[in-house]
Amino acid sequence: MSAYENFSKVYDKFMEDTPYDKWIEYIKKIWDKFLLSPKMIAELGCGTGNITQRLSDMGYDMIGIDCSENMLCIAREKMTAAGKEILYLNQDMREFELYGTVDCVLSLCDSINYILEEEDLLKVFKLVNNYLEPKGLFIFDLNTIYKFKNILAQNSFSQSDENSAYTWENYFDEDNCINEYYTNFFIKDNKTGLYERFEEEHYEKGYKIEIIKNIITKSGLEFIGVYDELTFSPPKKESERVFFIAREKGKGNTDK
């Protein structure tokens, strides 16, 4: 899994159009719909803390987990500036460890797509099940195969401002349902005025909904629903992002 080691320097700038606030409002609607009033929440793939920090500001006790120490350094800077106490852990979500259970586990911004093998996805879901309080919720989103195949595949995107620029090229392998992102970006050194070039490769896998549902069940979690982004409507053929909700069935339940 790529760790966004260099892209972390410009991540927030080039993700500023991401609808973090809308996602949080949607998550709160999910909690209301499924009668959850969480206090302790863990976020897998928290990046620079854009979701974690917002939820902390709302009064929730937060744990942020990410495999990129560079991204977490930025998240901790935000935490300090806000005067908050957030536990940030530099861990791979396939092997994450918590000190206790939580009421809800979140994974947003297609972090789960970065898990390229079904066996590894099962490991993640089993760990989530282990660390959820009884009847706790696991909420995560996924980029869809439709998005990889029809929106991103073989297309290039670019963006720039006075201090940085990047290009983002996509290559979709239909046989394996894996999308390769090749990023090439330039960051201005404020001291010298020169631009430094970085490049990274990232890979995301598209999963069929039925496969995800089966893995949820195998992990011991209860599949609750899958919805088109920001709605409680079933996914459409043209859905680009879908949200899954799973629930811990109750510690000690022999049906797991």
Give pLDDT tens digits for 164-217. 777 889 999 999 999 998 888 787 777 888 887 888 888 999 999 999 999 999
- The C-alpha atoms of residue 168 and residue 200 are separated, in whole angstroms, by 10
Q: What CATH number did the domain enclosing 80 receive?
A: 3.40.50.150
Classify residue 254: in a domain, yes or no: no
Domain that holds residue 213: 7-143+208-247
pLDDT of 252 above 90: no
pLDDT digits (tens, 9 = 90+) for 54-109: 999 999 999 999 999 999 999 999 999 999 899 999 999 999 999 999 999 999 99
CB 41 within 8 A of CB 106: yes
Q: How many domains does the chain have?
A: 2
173: domain CATH number is: 2.20.25.110
Same domain assignment for residues 183 and 227: no
